[in-house]
Amino acid sequence: MSQFIVGIDLGTTNSALAYASTDGGSTESPEVRLFSIPQLANPGEIAELDLLPSSLYIPGPNEFVEGALALPWNSAPPYITGQLARARGVENAGRLVNSAKSWLSHQTSDPTQPLLPLSAPEGVEKISPLEASTQYLLHLRSAWDAAHPDAKLENQSVLITVPASFDAAARDLTQRAARQAGYPEVTIIEEPQAAFYAWIARTQNWREQVRPGDLILVVDIGGGTTDFTLITVTEESGELQLERVAVGEHLLLGGDNMDLAAARFAEQQFTKTAKKLDAIQFHSLWQQARAAKEHLLSGDPNAPDEQPLTILGRGTGVVGGTLRGKIKRDDIRNLLLEGFFPMVEADAVPQRQRRAALMEVGLNYASDPAVTKHLAQFLRNAAGNTGVGGFARPTHLLLNGGVLQAGAIEQRLFEVLNSWLRAAGFPAVTELRSESKQADLMHAVAHGAAYYGGARTGRGVRIRGGVARTYYVGVESSMPAVPGLPAPMKALTVVPFGLEEGSRVELPQRKFALVVGEPAEFRFFSSVSRKGDPPGAMIEEVGDDIEELAPIEVFLPPHTDAVREEVVPVTLESNVTETGMLELWCVAADGRRWKLEFNVRERLAA
């Protein structure tokens, strides 16, 4: 039996680890603590910090003196992770890996291939987003093991958080990174839910702040993603119950976008003299803008009103010498409010920009940076799940994410949301906050994951919700062939929205023909907006509200006596494991079973 429950926030910008003892007696809320993570702050200097920057630096030959990168558990690590990696990347952006987590959900690139750093010059090694994620998790595991030699992480109960909008493939890649880093089988939990669990854990009278019928909106703005989740409060046998009723689309929009905007704004003062910054200089400015934003908007009353910026020269042909500038707090605040959190109406729609036919390989960032427009669209799409028309009307708001340390941004979100509610004739939303708000914003996700681990053992309240999407498998129509036209594809509902982990769905009412003994392609689909499709429902026409995932090719073995392919009548079963993995089983009448995992990122065999 494990001694600890460990919650890990594998963040786009920063990662954190929190833990609770399993020896908590009968108390409902286990005591959760943050783990200080040893990491290199400077060459040869180890510091214990409560966050591990999700940055990886690929050191060059002879770049550091021997022993300068030694960690307590590794005298010569191949990569630098954490604080020193981020700092070194400001000076040499071509060796810095950032935002690896966002690449795990990339629909057009293979996250298992060496892609990063994108700007790496020729001769610099590249690594895959999967490997970068593995290295962050390996650092956390090694740090934990060094501090707990009698309670190694591989023997503990571990939970890792992901965006609510992560599809099955991205969740599976997260679990795969954990396996490669030497973790036990981990449980996946959605970040907004973890943030809400953290609020429960830190709020002893939480049951007095909400009541049946309330609708709680969780807005989680991290470094790379923005997540929206709605949780409803119900009552059963006199006890309050919580149920997640809606999650938003995967939205690559967060602190990284805001850092870039601040860097572009700051760049103007350098280019006024007609001197253009090259890619490496601009990346340095980008990293400095990130630090300036966090410092100037930290809420510290003693923080200065402006932050200096320094750009090193790159030769007389580009910039002759060192350039110096500054960025002011008011400029950053106005830039972020009007650019990312504008006042809009409840019927606002994110703009879709027309894109060029050819683009650089990169992340699928949201085309419209206005978070408030995306929020308006989410609440309209979620209206049907809450039994109202127009748009879902939250009664409470819980904010999470380092971006929201800026009080002006927090205030603007309340202004926008309350303007919508006021126009519809509803009362203003109530903020859910705990006493330690600053810690909540930076560490709530890891804290809530550890709390949830205790709740799974009966020591706390659980949010019912299950799978955040409806999943479908493609079924080819049986009809006469037509020249030049493929057979129409239907979509069969195999996993309904909200199916709880550990649940199995059998579909004995339908039989299908399964091809075995030769390579076959399976097509999978998902939807975050179609939440009423029951298991076994056949969607005759795949519309815009259903997204096709990458197909998988498998070789399903025939019967041992068969020497060639055969077509086997089967029924289907779907299963959501306790760790969140989605499985589809094809079951023949003679008892043969073939399993397909929703691992759409790689080719796999049953």
User: For the segment 235-279, what is each residue's pLDDT rounded down to a tens digit?
Assistant: 877 778 888 888 888 788 888 888 888 888 888 877 765 567 776
Give the model confidence (pLDDT) of 39-79 as tens digits.
Answer: 999 999 999 999 999 999 999 998 999 999 999 999 999 99
Look at the alpha carbons of 452, 458, 463, 464 in this order and tell me if their dihedral is positive or negative.
positive
Looking at residue 205, what is its pLDDT?
84
Q: Looking at residues 18-28, what average pLDDT do you find? A: 75
Check residue 598 and give its pLDDT.
56
Question: Does 600 have pLDDT greater than 50?
Answer: no
Which of residues 394 and 551 earns the better pLDDT score? 394
pLDDT for 416 = 97
Instruction: Give the pLDDT confidence score for residue 121 in this predicted structure.
Output: 85
Q: Which helix (H) or strand (E) holds 323?
A: strand 323-328
Q: What is the DSSP string of 198-232?
A: HHHHH-TTHHHH--TT-EEEEEEE-SS-EEEEEEE
Give domain 4-189's CATH superfamily: ATPase, nucleotide binding domain (3.30.420.40)
Q: If you average pLDDT over residues 587-605, what whole number do you get?
A: 61
pLDDT tens-digit series, residues 349-368:
998 765 554 444 555 667 88
- Give the pLDDT of residue 359: 42
Q: pTM for this structure?
A: 0.77
Domains 4-189 and 211-433 share a fold: yes
Q: Which pair of structure tokens corresponds to residue 518?
A: 């030769």
Task: For the chain, give every domain's residue range.
Answer: 4-189, 211-433, 470-597
**Model pLDDT, residue 449:** 94
Between helices 279-296 and 255-271, what is the axis angle to 10°?
120
Residue 599 has pLDDT above 70, yes or no: no
- Between 136 and 91, residue with greater pLDDT: 136
Please tell me the predicted confidence (pLDDT) of residue 317: 47
| The pLDDT value given to residue 318 | 45
- Taking all residues of the chain, what is their mean pLDDT, rounded to a whole number? 83
Rounded Cα gap, residues 27 and 290, in angstroms: 41
Q: What is the pLDDT of residue 319?
A: 44
* CATH number, domain 211-433: 3.30.420.40
For residue 423, report the phi and psi dihedrals to the nearest 5 degrees.
Answer: -65, -30
Kindly tell me if the per-residue pLDDT of 320 is higher than 70. no
Express as a percent the part of the chain with pLDDT over 90: 34
Query: Phi and psi of 521, rounded to 5°?
Result: -110, 130
What sign has the CA pseudo-torsion 369, 309, 331, 304? positive
